[in-house]
Amino acid sequence: MKLGLIAGILRASVPAGAEGIDITDLAYDSRKVTEDSLFFCVPGALVDGHHFAEQAVGAGAAALVSSHSVQAAVPEIIVDDPRRAMGVVSDAFFGQPSRELSLVGVTGTNGKTTTVYMLDSIFRATGEASGLISNIERRIGPKVLPAPRLNAPEAIDLQRLLRMMLDAGVTKCAMEVTSEGIAQGRTDATEFEVAVFTNLTQDHLNFHHTMENYYLAKRFLFTDLARAAVVSIDDKWGRRLASEVGIPVTTFGTSDAADLRAVDMELGPAGSSFRAVGLDLDIQVQIKIPGVFNVMNALGAAAAANTLGISPADITAGLESLAGVPGRFERVDAGQPFTVLIDYAHTPDALIAVLAAARSLGSGRVLAVFGCGGDRDASKRPLMGEAAGRGADLVFATSDNPRSEDPLQILREIEKGLTEWPPPLGYEIIPDRAEAIRRAVAEAGDGDIVVIAGKGHETGQEFAEGKIDFDDRLIAADALRNVR
């Protein structure tokens, strides 16, 4: 693509004579610059891409996009926001791949990952090649790629990935869409055939500052990027969203007002059954993932698939064939006489829902292990403590990903909620997460349910000193071997 064309897309200018420079790739990381690429000087929370412009030029960058001149030896395109510029340029450079895919974006505080996996399973049931973009992994048909640190890919990575999907024959893709990714322009110029809204509860206020800002970031997906909406109206923010967007809206939930409703629900330890009724659907579904919240995730996936024109038979088959989602209500079983569950729940509402679902599995005690991440919304920490106190019989508060913060200070803030709402059998503060897991497993008796919440599928733990290998599932399995 010629540099002059890129400047035209950005409504910017380039130095005279530079219009004909041929750009062969795009980059925002100077370590990934290739010959004749265009480098975007993106300001970040910790580092500023403008400081790496010289390195990018040295690695072969033919031109830069920046917010101010860095006196580079190559042409510069000056724009107000290089990160947002990446979105529109990436979309054009890779041939607008989202317009050729049936792309479904799923957003919400809780349930994004599970809904995306359910959609992917439905897509597979149609026999077509499918794609998946989640905070666990990326899939291009049968090919699995690890997910990088960012839950939402930067615009260049996203558009490159969508192009790779098309080239591999993928026709449908389900993608998690985060509020931070939307607010930072990572999905700018991406076209979603359907956008799904699961719910909105307190999280990410370190970034958005207010729930209103958080909501507005989510709403942008529906007002500016999607052609059709699927919205849960069991959620108050979802009811507002359904009334505010101008695109066709399909609602789902348990309310009679919903277009697609879940009725005749039967919840059990091995999963749930329900009827999805409404629209042109009336299907009986048995999912293998327990919890009423997963019934709602399945209903949202069914509504989105129906909007795409997928048959009721394929929707049913897809939902029923999904065995589980990594780190989402995932069992760790070593033959012990009690249940151990790993879940990603890291918001107050999610923790309440997971503990309630765990309690429905039997008559034993519910033991909870959880913490809160550092460098994130601190105001939810006492709320997490309260949620654990409300939902569990015995609580072990521990570290999550402390990052740059003092783990003990995070725990002190969590403890405020535990003292306001103490669990019936008390609580323990154990900063060492592995020790907290071992303590909970050792305490569990016949019929009890141990819920280890907050990190789910993650395989590392982040401290100020760096990241260490850590997987709740492996720690729990090791603990179980020592108590059998």
Instruction: Find the CATH number of the domain harbouring 237.
Output: 3.40.1190.10
Q: Is position 90 within any domain?
A: no
Do residues 292 and 336 both lie within one domain? Answer: no
Summarize pLDDT for 285-343 with one digit per residue, the tens.
999 999 999 999 999 999 999 999 999 999 999 999 999 999 999 999 999 999 999 99
Burial 349-361 (b: 16+ CB within 10 A, else e): bbbbbbbebbbeb
Do residues 390 and 290 both lie within one domain? Answer: no
Q: d(Cα 191, Cα 18) in Å, to the nearest integer?
A: 31
Residue 347, amino acid: T
Instruction: Find the CATH number of the domain harbouring 8.
Output: 3.40.1390.10
**Nearest in space to 369 (alpha carbons), one of 286, 297, 454, 308:** 454
Q: d(Cα 409, Cα 415) in Å, to the nearest integer?
A: 10
pLDDT at 61 over 90: yes
Do residues 420 and 388 both lie within one domain? Answer: yes
Do residues 335 and 365 both lie within one domain? Answer: yes
Instruction: Find the CATH number of the domain harbouring 350.
Output: 3.90.190.20
Burial category of 473 from C-beta neighbours within 10 Å (exposed 0-12, middle 13-18, buried 19 and up): buried
Do residues 53 and 113 both lie within one domain? Answer: no
Q: Is position 452 within any domain?
A: yes
Q: d(Cα 103, Cα 153) in Å, to the nearest integer?
A: 15
- In this prediction, residue 149 has a pLDDT band, given cuts at 50, 70 and 90, of low
Contacts with 149 (C-beta within 8 Å, 6 or more apart), sequence order: none
Summarize pLDDT for 394-451 with one digit per residue, the tens.
999 999 999 999 999 999 999 999 999 999 999 999 999 999 999 999 999 999 999 9
What is the mean predicted confidence (pLDDT) over 386-393?
Answer: 98
Quick one: CA dihedral 241, 242, 248, 251, positive or negative?
Answer: positive
- In this prediction, residue 45 has a pLDDT band, given cuts at 50, 70 and 90, of low
Residue 114, amino acid: T
Q: How far apart are the first and last CA of the chain?
A: 63
- In this prediction, residue 203 has a pLDDT band, given cuts at 50, 70 and 90, of confident
pLDDT of residue 204: 77
Burial category of 257 from C-beta neighbours within 10 Å (exposed 0-12, middle 13-18, buried 19 and up): exposed
Q: d(Cα 302, Cα 287) in Å, to the nearest integer?
A: 12
Q: Is position 91 within any domain?
A: no
What is the mean predicted confidence (pLDDT) over 154-177?
Answer: 97
Q: Which of 291, 321, 351 is the last residue of a domain?
A: 321
Mean pLDDT of the chain: 95
Do residues 276 and 343 both lie within one domain? Answer: no
Contacts with 479 (C-beta within 8 Å, 6 or more apart), sequence order: 437, 438, 441, 442
**Nearest in space to 197 (alpha carbons), one of 224, 222, 217:** 222
Domain count, the chain: 3
Other CB atoms closer than 10 Å to residue 291's CB: what's the count? 23
Do residues 75 and 10 both lie within one domain? Answer: yes
Do residues 171 and 300 both lie within one domain? Answer: yes
Q: Is position 215 within any domain?
A: yes
DSSP state of 214: H
Do residues 113 and 236 both lie within one domain? Answer: yes
Do residues 64 and 197 both lie within one domain? Answer: no
Quick one: CA dihedral 342, 348, 352, 353, positive or negative?
Answer: negative
Q: d(Cα 380, Cα 95) in Å, to the nearest integer?
A: 42
Do residues 268 and 344 both lie within one domain? Answer: no
Burial category of 171 from C-beta neighbours within 10 Å (exposed 0-12, middle 13-18, buried 19 and up): middle
Do residues 55 and 134 both lie within one domain? Answer: no
What is the mean predicted confidence (pLDDT) over 387-393?
Answer: 98
User: Domain residues for 395?
Assistant: 330-483
Q: Which of 82, 110, 138 is the last residue of a domain?
A: 82
